[in-house]
Amino acid sequence: MIHQAIGRGLQNIQTQQHLEVRQTAIATELADLLQLLLPVSPKGEIEATSKTMVRKAVALKKSMTEEHALYRVVAVECGGNYSEELMDVDDDMPTGPVFICIYPALVRTAKMRGKSEQIVVSKASVIMQSALEIDMS
Amino acid sequence: MSHPESRTQHQQLQSHQRDGLSQTSPDYHPSDSRQDHPDGRKLEDQLGPAIENDLPSQQTAQSAAQFHVNQAQHLGALGVQTQEDASSFGGFLRGLRAAYHTFTDPTQRALAERCVQLGDSLERTQSELSRLSRDHQYKQDLVAKLDDQLHKERVTVAELRRQLGSYQQECEGLRKWANGIHSQNEEFRTQIIDLETGLGPTLGEDYYQSQFEGLKRLIEKDIVRHSKSNSKQVLSDEAQKEILEVLSKLGEDGEKSARFFADGQFALRVLYASNRWRHAMIRHIAGLFLLAQVFDAFAFGVSKELSKSLQLVEQDILSRGTRLRER
């Protein structure tokens, strides 16, 4: 409720114009970054893709800010330990540390028996280092 | 204790005493006139002084003793039933006690001695009886009084019990009513807060899950599509450097990734050469970017400093609130 009240208060004082400017700037930054990684792809397509991604992400973030429950996006560190509760992996028998997190996890903070607990709403997608070694060999 | 019957017996006793004096003790001549006192003076008054006054003469004393023995026989025949009789009998005994040692005849003396002993015993018994009677009467009165008091107290207790039961029922009813009012009040409070602030759950967990995974699918689809079209590309050193620089500015997670992909077998350039790892690496970078620029902030559009401060405030309030609730 505290998070919701503060979040709504903040969104009330932010102007729509300011949010749109900020959203455009981020989309441009993402497009620039992706252009470095995908030099052959047309700039217009990259920009459109970036814009869609940022728009969807901002809409989701806005909903989370106004929500009663606490949602948090959590990234998994490269080289970190595997956790079945938090991570989703293609391998049947995942071994070794995490190689790369290709998409973060979404967790919800809930109060249970007076303690804060993290409930995983969507698991992070990861690739294990073992898969990389097999592939590289 | 002056009973008509006992008075009659007393008069009979006086009559017998007078008869005794005249019949059984002809030698006895009282020196004063109290013996014939018209108001029936007690035997003690009649005999006591006569015995004491006549003691100088042994003959007179023996006559007096004989008289007392006779009187004792009369009294034994009549029985001593009243206090007045007992009192007279006491005087008689005193006289006998004073004179019985003067008897010369051993039988008479033994008889007189025995009579004195019995008289003493009787006096003690009568005295004890009188005391016990008074005590008994006092205690009976006390018991009656206490019985009466007990009855009154029992009536009072019964009434108080009835009142207590009534109050307990009333109290239970009020407690239920108060609990109902309390619950209703809490409900109203919650409704008022919700109406005023519009706070409360807005969207379900399923919504967030589907939106978040939708974004994941979008990134995956677009990145893989573009990545495939860049399969023949080689990542230049400058491009790698620039990408790592951007990564290092994407918060703590970005810094770690930048270090991880900087060189060695996991260097960006190495991974970029493989289709599979290129897709994964670009998706990783896009995910990190959105996390740092959109999701990590307290609210979208606020500065990093303000976002950090608000997150700290929120954590502080939450932790204090938890402690208060635990108490």
What pLDDT score was predicted for residue A109?
81
Q: Report which of residues B197 and B44 the model is more confident about.
A: B197
Closest residue in B to A77 (Cα) is B253
Question: How many angstroms away from the CA of B182 is the closest CA of chain A?
Answer: 23
Residues B129 and B236 in one domain: no
What pLDDT score was predicted for residue B201?
62
Highest mean pLDDT among A13-27, A34-48, A99-113: A34-48
- Angstrom distance (rounded) from CA B234 to CA B231: 8
Question: How many angstroms away from the CA of A25 is the closest CA of chain B?
Answer: 10
- Beta strands A124-128 and A87-89 are parallel
What pLDDT score was predicted for residue B5?
45
Residues B27 and B128 in one domain: yes
Do B301 and A102 count as a contact with CB atoms less than 8 A apart?
no
Mean predicted confidence (pLDDT) in A18-23: 88
What pLDDT score was predicted for residue A6?
77
What pLDDT score was predicted for residue A130?
79
* Helix A43-66 × helix B205-229 angle, to 10°: 170
Residue B132 scores a pLDDT above 50 = yes
- Angstrom distance (rounded) from CA A16 to CA A1: 24
Partners of residue B276 in chain A, C-beta under 8 Å: 135
What pLDDT score was predicted for residue B100?
75
- In the three-class reduction of DSSP (H, G, I as helix; E, B as strand; rest coil), residue A121 is classed as strand
pLDDT band at B58 (very low <50, low <70, confident <90, very high): low
Residue B171 within a domain:
no
- In the listed set B122, B139, B156, which residue is the last one of a domain according to the structure? B139
pLDDT band at B29 (very low <50, low <70, confident <90, very high): very low
What pLDDT score was predicted for residue B304?
82
B255 touches chain A (CB under 8 A): no
pTM (predicted TM-score) = 0.56
Residue type, B176: K
Look at A20-29, B132-141, B187-196 and tell me which has the smallest mean pLDDT: B187-196
Do A33 and B253 count as a contact with CB atoms less than 8 A apart?
no
- Angstrom distance (rounded) from CA B79 to CA B314: 112
Residues B49 and B126 in one domain: yes
- Angstrom distance (rounded) from CA B280 to CA B283: 5
What pLDDT score was predicted for residue B59?
60
Residues B245 and B123 in one domain: no
Do A135 and B274 count as a contact with CB atoms less than 8 A apart?
yes
Mean predicted confidence (pLDDT) in B135-159: 96
pLDDT digits (tens, 9 = 90+) for B298-314: 888 888 888 888 888 87
Residue A91 scores a pLDDT above 90 = no
Partners of residue A106 in chain B, C-beta under 8 Å: 208-209, 212
Residues B259 and B312 in one domain: no
Mean predicted confidence (pLDDT) in A20-25: 92
Do A40 and B229 count as a contact with CB atoms less than 8 A apart?
yes
Domain count, chain B: 3
What pLDDT score was predicted for residue B25?
39
- Within its chain, how far is the Cα of B154 from the centroid? 21
Highest mean pLDDT among B96-105, B132-141, B193-202, B269-278: B132-141
pLDDT band at B323 (very low <50, low <70, confident <90, very high): very low
Do A46 and B226 count as a contact with CB atoms less than 8 A apart?
yes
Q: What are the domain boundaries of chain A?
A: 1-68, 69-137
Residue B271 scores a pLDDT above 80 = yes
Determine the residue among B300, B309, B326 to mutate to test chain A binding: the one whose Cβ has the most chain A Cβ atoms within 10 Å.
Answer: B300
Q: Which of B177, B304, B184 is nearest to B252 (CA)?
A: B304
Here the tokens at position B133 are: 């009677």
Mean predicted confidence (pLDDT) in B16-42: 40
Residues B125 and B87 in one domain: yes
pLDDT digits (tens, 9 = 90+) for B179-226: 999 988 888 887 776 666 555 567 788 999 999 999 999 999 999 889
Residues B45 and B126 in one domain: yes
B238 touches chain A (CB under 8 A): no
Residues B228 and B309 in one domain: no
Q: Which long-range contacts (CB under 8 A, 24 or more apart) does B261-269 make?
A: B261/A78, B265/A136, B266/A78, B266/A99, B266/A132, B267/B240, B268/B235, B268/B240, B268/B243, B268/B244, B269/B234, B269/B235, B269/B237, B269/B240
**Could you give the ipTM of this predicted complex?**
0.90
Architecture of domain A69-137: Roll (2.30)
In terms of residue numbers, what domain contains B110?
4-139
Residue B273 scores a pLDDT above 90 = no
pLDDT band at B22 (very low <50, low <70, confident <90, very high): very low
Mean predicted confidence (pLDDT) in B48-69: 54
- Angstrom distance (rounded) from CA A39 to CA B136: 128
Q: Report which of residues B187 and B138 the model is more confident about.
A: B138
What pLDDT score was predicted for residue B316?
76
Who among A57, A64, A66 is closest to B215 (CB)? A57
Partners of residue A57 in chain B, C-beta under 8 Å: 215, 290, 294-295
Residues B41 and B110 in one domain: yes
Q: Report which of residues B277 and B80 the model is more confident about.
A: B277
Residues B30 and B128 in one domain: yes
Q: What percent of chain B has pLDDT over 70?
A: 66
pLDDT band at B174 (very low <50, low <70, confident <90, very high): very high
- Within its chain, how far is the Cα of B98 from the centroid? 70
